[in-house]
């Protein structure tokens, strides 16, 4: 029905609402990279918590965030479905604030373990509700760009961690990590609720008002009525089926579930979060002449650029070709990075003339992994499930992927110490090749389709 109606003007309210909601993603993303500046401090003789930590303890600190992600995601479907998308985003800022307070007061590794798990629960909530909120407030022709704000704001959080963490004290950084989620909580009080959720809960008048607001008052009454009718029909069809985790394993949703879980696992096994967590350590190990704290700022800035680029091309190029290209280039970059470390650590080859290679390979990798492997899984998973199981599908996806995130981060430092830093990079490169092949042969295209049309595609 929507194809009969045209809207004019820039629907800036949709963009602003998404950006405001995704400030929560920026707040939790600082914790994903917190270990990059923190690990060198915590393992030094002047550890800010009064105890010098070893590599096993710092690996645990880095990886336990994903234990929290798994826990938070498993409970996320309940607030998403029963209190709404908006209130779930607000509530998600409470645990991450508590986590920062624990980090500030920690005097042992045990307290940091607890802080990381608590922060992870917020991440699990945000990563579950964020894609749903973006998909449901946006119109089909700009849904890819708006959904990509999750990636952009995640990279904003990363840049903050990379550019502030190395240059301020441990205590000062922790204090800022308390302030940021509190600000984000208040911002989210002013965003509109999802019109899909409002229709689902019988608030059609409120849904219509939200749709008018989201159109920036530049759409005709006919368009608003048409979109409300489409949403109402979509909700009616979706809610004819049961809403439970058990429902996800039925034939109607099995294809979407398998596809999104595979994509999520590829995201974690690509090594992206290992690089985020140990970026300064990797740069120090490479022997690069560029100081690691300054290199990390370049990475953070490039990540934001990559997120912006992704938003511009995802609705033009399409999900499938973008995923395939990014997997291939990421794999090549990782193999090159691994080759440098092999020459540097396992041979007598003089790599002094290749001082530029480890940074360059990682920059190329970061650019393409952010554009494809980190952003697209959240866009796709927010599109392919119907309303009755969407919240539980996002939760289950995040929960099933979290153990792989724990495994990848937990094993990075031990593999680097026992076998050489080139081994994990080559393993991550092989995983990206698997993603490349999966994208070519199995990943469907959802570009330019309404959420109702996507559901029909999978029937």
Q: Using the predicted structure, report yes or no on whether residue 459 has a pLDDT greater than 90.
A: no
pLDDT, mean of residues 147-172: 91
Question: Can you list the domains of the chain with their CATH numbers?
Answer: 11-458 (1.20.1250.20)
455 or 408: which carries more pLDDT confidence?
408
Rounded Cα distance between 255 and 262, Å, is 11
The alpha-carbon radius of gyration of the chain (Å, integer) is: 22
DSSP assignments along 137-201, one per residue: HS-TTTHHHHHTHHHHHHHHHHHHHHHHGGGS-HHHHHHHHHHHHHHHHHHHTTSPPPHHHHHHT
What angle, 0 to 180 degrees and rounded to 10, lies between the N-to-C axes of helices 109-137 and 55-82?
Answer: 40
Lowest-confidence region among 26-35, 225-234, 302-311, 341-350? 302-311
Flag the least confident range among 90-94, 197-201, 217-221: 217-221
The pLDDT of 78-87, averaged and rounded, is: 92
Per-residue pLDDT at 2: 41
**What is the structure's pLDDT at 331?**
97
**Secondary structure (3-state) at 320:** helix
For residue 222, the model assigns a pLDDT of 83
Residue 7: pLDDT band (50, 70, 90) is very low
Buried/exposed code over 119-131 (b: 16+ C-beta within 10 A; e: otherwise): bbbbbbbbbbbbb
417: left (phi over 0), alpha (psi -120 to 50) or beta: alpha
Higher pLDDT, 142 or 211: 211
Q: Is pLDDT above 50 for 135?
A: yes
Cα–Cα distance, 147 to 156 (Å, whole number):
15
Contact status, residue 60 vs residue 381, Cβ threshold 8 Å:
no
Instruction: With a cut of 50, say whether residue 5 has pLDDT above it.
Output: no
Q: Which pLDDT score, from 0 to 100, does residue 294 have?
A: 84
378 or 203, greater pLDDT: 203
Quick one: average pLDDT of 133-152?
86
Mean pLDDT of the chain: 88
Task: Give the pLDDT confidence score for residue 217 in this predicted structure.
Answer: 63
pLDDT digits (tens, 9 = 90+) for 315-335: 788 889 999 999 999 999 999
Arithmetic mean of pLDDT, 10-34: 92
Average pLDDT over residues 203-231: 85
Q: What is the pLDDT of residues 376-408, one digit of tens each?
A: 887 788 788 887 787 788 788 878 888 888 888
For residue 91, name the pLDDT band (cuts at 50, 70, 90): very high
Residue 89 has pLDDT above 50, yes or no: yes
Q: Is residue 4's pLDDT more than 60?
A: no
User: What average pLDDT score do residues 69-98 get?
Assistant: 92
Q: What is the pLDDT of residues 411-454, one digit of tens each?
A: 998 899 889 999 999 999 999 999 999 999 988 888 877 777 77
Question: What confidence tens digit (pLDDT) does each residue in 270-291 have?
Answer: 998 888 888 888 888 887 777 7
Banded pLDDT at 57 (limits 50, 70, 90): very high
DSSP state of 350: -
Say if residue 17's pLDDT is above 90.
Answer: yes
72-98: average pLDDT: 93
φ, ψ for residue 11, nearest 5 deg = -80, 70
The region of weakest confidence among 63-77, 80-94, 247-261 is 247-261
Alpha helices in 202-291 (DSSP H): 204-214, 221-238, 251-269, 272-285
b/e map of 49-82 (b: 16 or more CB within 10 Å)? beeebeeebbbbbbbbbbbbbbbbbbebbebbbe
């Amino acid at each position: 029905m929507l194809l009969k109606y045209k809207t004019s003007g820039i629907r800036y309210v949709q963009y602003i609402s998404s950006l405001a909601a995704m400030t929560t993603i920026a707040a939790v993303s600082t914790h994903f990279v917190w270990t990059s500046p923190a690990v060198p401090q915590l393992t030094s003789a002047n550890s800010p918590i009064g105890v010098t930590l070893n590599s096993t303890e710092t690996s645990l600190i880095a990886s336990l965030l994903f234990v929290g992600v798994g826990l938070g995601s498993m409970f996320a479907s309940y607030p998403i479905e029963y209190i709404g998308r908006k209130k779930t985003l607000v509530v998600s800022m409470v645990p991450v604030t508590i986590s920062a307070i624990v980090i500030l007061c920690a005097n042992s590794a045990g307290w940091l373990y607890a802080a990381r798990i608590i922060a992870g629960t917020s991440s699990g909530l945000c990563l579950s509700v964020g894609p749903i909120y973006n998909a449901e407030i946006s119109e089909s022709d700009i849904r890819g760009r708006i959904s990509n704000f999750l990636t952009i704001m995640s990279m904003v959080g990363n840049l903050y961690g990379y550019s502030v963490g190395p240059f301020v004290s441990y205590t000062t950084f922790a204090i800022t990590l308390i302030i940021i989620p509190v600000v984000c909580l208040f911002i989210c009080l002013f965003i509109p609720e999802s019109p899909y959720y409002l229709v689902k809960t019988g608030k059609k008048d409120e849904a219509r008002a939200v749709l008018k607001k989201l159109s920036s008052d530049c759409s005709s009454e006919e368009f608003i009525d048409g979109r409300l009718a489409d949403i109402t029909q979509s909700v009616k069809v979706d809610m004819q089926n049961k809403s439970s985790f058990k429902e996800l394993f039925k034939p109607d949703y099995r294809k979407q579930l398998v596809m999104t879980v595979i994509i999520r696992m590829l995201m974690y096994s690509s090594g992206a979060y290992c690089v985020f967590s140990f970026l300064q350590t990797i740069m120090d190990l490479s022997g690069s002449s560029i100081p690691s704290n300054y290199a990390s700022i370049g990475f953070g800035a490039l990540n934001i650029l990559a997120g912006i680029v992704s938003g511009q091309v995802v609705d033009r190029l399409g999900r499938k070709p973008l995923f395939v290209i990014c997997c291939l280039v990421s794999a090549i970059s990782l193999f090159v990075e691994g080759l440098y470390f092999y020459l540097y650590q396992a041979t007598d080859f003089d790599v002094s003339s290749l001082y530029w290679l480890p940074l360059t390979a990682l920059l190329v990798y970061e650019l393409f992994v952010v554009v494809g492997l980190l952003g697209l899984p959240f866009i796709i998973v927010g599109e392919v499930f119907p309303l009755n199981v969407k919240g539980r599908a996002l939760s289950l996806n995040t929960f099933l992927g979290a153990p792989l995130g724990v495994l990848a981060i937990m094993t990075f430092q031990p593999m680097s110490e026992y076998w050489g830093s080139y081994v994990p990079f080559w393993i991550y490169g092989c995983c990206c090749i698997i993603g490349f092949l999966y994208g070519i042969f199995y990943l469907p295209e959802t570009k330019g389709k309404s959420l109702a049309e996507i559901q029909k595609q999978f029937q």
